[in-house]
Amino acid sequence: MTAAARDLGAQSDRPRLGLALGGGVARGFAHIGVLRVLEREGFVPDVVAGTSIGAVAGGCYVAGVLDAFEDWARSLNRLKVVGYLDFKLGRSGLLAGERLSAVLRRHLGDRLVEDLSSPFAAVATDLASGREVWIREGPLTDAVRASYALPGVFPPVRFDRRMLVDGGLLNPVPVAPCVAMGAHVVVAVNLTADRGRRTGRDLAALPGAGSVDDLDTATESAGHRGRPRMPRFGGFERRLFQRRRGEPSVVSVMMATMGIVLDRIARIRLAGDAPDVMIAPRIGHIGFADFDRAEELIARGAEAAEAVLPELRSLLAGKREHRPPAEFDPDRPAEPVA
């Protein structure tokens, strides 16, 4: 069954619920808490769209492997996070991304986007044309990888004759795809709305040189205990994470800059594509690379979702008007900015 056929066929008397899961790197673990609360309360999304880490969470949810994604997220610590950093100089990104891809393929398998139980769209950016792309068909793993392929960090993903990169460049919180897929009520999760609570001292979201030394020692110790041993950090990798005289590391500056850009683009897009309900977890104190803080992020996401339940119940009960479905345009460009 094609994606368009499922959109037209999934009609019901109640307003169709759409869920737009925004980008935010490690902060995306908050999506798990949001999904758990919605699931518990019986608010099953009819359509789901995700950008970057939102595409990962949304894809896992629609594919029925959210439990596995949550288990993996909760298992991460600093040592395991470093183990996924497969530096590959000479390619079009700092990281090859193959270790993360292997995790995705292990859980998502060979699933196709068009065969999922509910309409799903992963948002990416066409590197050549600069246009926004909504991936609605093809291998789910590749669609998700394209959506989180942050330029300069991961190489672009070749998908359907296009070179695709992170969708957050154009649409960090993908409300429009939900509407296009037939949603009447859209709940959006914005992971960058809570800003201004970090200071210059907090910019280093990944280990500095001293912490890298500690991780080297830990990997050696793990090897002695019979666990797989990871390679030690070389000079290049060490300089990326190193802090000197209170200055942030290269990686920390990249993460902080990305947060500013995502926040500003999200504000512009949401002004034109406003959701009916906005969920904005209080996670501004957590860095974009704090992958070892899944437990807190999941709890914060659940807390934010609990806060909007009365509003969502009112909307789905028909006490407020809901929007009509929009025309689907998979190549819709970003909204112009005056």
User: What percent of the chain stands above pLDDT 70?
Assistant: 75
How far is it, in rounded angstroms, from Cα 338 to Cα 336?
Answer: 6
Res 98: pLDDT = 94
How far is it, in rounded angstroms, from Cα 188 to Cα 82?
Answer: 31
The pLDDT tens digits of the residues spanning 67-78 come to: 999 999 999 998
Rounded to the nearest angstrom, the gap between the alpha carbon of residue 140 and the centroid of all alpha carbons in its chain is 14
Mean pLDDT of 47-59: 98
Res 287: pLDDT = 86
Number of Cβ within a 10 Å radius of residue 213: 14
The pLDDT tens digits of the residues spanning 284-335 come to: 989 888 999 999 999 999 999 999 999 999 988 875 565 665 544 545 444 3
Res 325: pLDDT = 52
What is the band of 85 on the pLDDT scale with cuts at 50, 70, 90? confident
Res 94: pLDDT = 87
How much is the pTM? 0.84
Collapsing DSSP to helix, strand or coil, 161 comes out as: coil
From 107-111, 122-126, 201-205, 288-292, the region with the lowest mean pLDDT: 201-205
Q: Quickly list DSSP for 13-57.
A: SSPPEEEEEPP-GGGGGHHHHHHHHHHHTT---SEEEEETHHHHH
| Cβ 248 vs Cβ 256: under 8 Å | yes
Res 234: pLDDT = 61
What is the band of 196 on the pLDDT scale with cuts at 50, 70, 90? low
Half-sphere exposure of 214 (CA within 13 A, CB side): 7
Mean pLDDT of 278-282: 97
Enumerate the active-site residues: 52, 166
What is the band of 228 on the pLDDT scale with cuts at 50, 70, 90? very low
From 14-28, 108-122, 282-296, 324-338, the region with the lowest mean pLDDT: 324-338
Name the average pLDDT for the chain.
83
Q: Which residues, 6 or more positions from 294, have their beta carbon under 8 angstroms from its beta carbon?
A: 29, 32, 70, 73, 74, 76
What is the band of 93 on the pLDDT scale with cuts at 50, 70, 90? confident
Q: Name which of 285, 281, 284 is nearest 306 in CA terms.
A: 281
Task: Give the residue, 283 or 9, on which the prediction is more confident.
Answer: 283
Bin 185: left if φ > 0, else alpha if -120 < ψ < 50, else beta. Answer: beta
Helix 66-75 vs helix 30-40: crossing angle, to nearest 10: 140
Instruction: Summarize the chain as % helix, strand, coil (round to 5).
Output: 45, 15, 40
Q: Which residues, 6 or more positions from 290, have their beta carbon under 8 angstroms from its beta carbon?
A: 26, 27, 205, 297
Res 258: pLDDT = 84
Res 206: pLDDT = 39
